[in-house]
Amino acid sequence: MLIAFSLALLVGSYILGSVPSGLLIVKLSTGKDIRQVESGRTGGTNAMRAAGFWAGLGTAIFDMLKSAVCVWLARLIMPSAYWVHILAPVMAIIGHNYSVFLVERGEDGKIRLRGGAGGGPTAGGALG
């Protein structure tokens, strides 16, 4: 049962990390697609380029919170499974960098997952 809870928590962390907060904030505030601006990433820096300072700050905060919440949930649900406390933010970072919600086919025909660079979720995981 412990393994099932651990796996569910890690998959949940990946899915929570995959939420493209920069894409959502920029789309709601300006109507632009952040993936078409500058680097094409969905993190706070590119959100600032696409929609201004406040959009970038909001994206950075949400990106940090995604990973921190994963740590807090892991500590709440499984207080003695320290390895889950470590892997939960790592899965959130992987989800942020390779979002399941941002699947696209490249020019070469290969399927790829897009996302941010991982700075915000890394800081959030350390905070958590």
Q: What is the 3 state secondary structure string of the chain?
A: CHHHHHHHHHHHHHHHHHCCHHHHHHHHHHCCCHHHCCCCCCCHHHHHHHHCHHHHHHHHHHHHHHHHHHHHHHHHHCCCCHHHHHHHHHHHHHHHHCCCCCEEECCCCCEEECCCCCHHHHHHHHHC
Residue 61 has pLDDT above 90, yes or no: yes
Residue 125, pLDDT score: 87
Instruction: State the average pLDDT over residues 20-38.
Output: 90
**pLDDT-derived band of residue 37, with 50, 70 and 90 as boundaries?**
confident
Q: What percent of the chain stands above pLDDT 70?
A: 100
Residue 55, pLDDT score: 93
Instruction: Specify the pTM.
Output: 0.89
Among candidates 27, 30, 21, 97, which has minimal Cα distance to 59?
21
Give me the chain's average pLDDT, please: 90
Instruction: State the average pLDDT over residues 13-25.
Output: 93
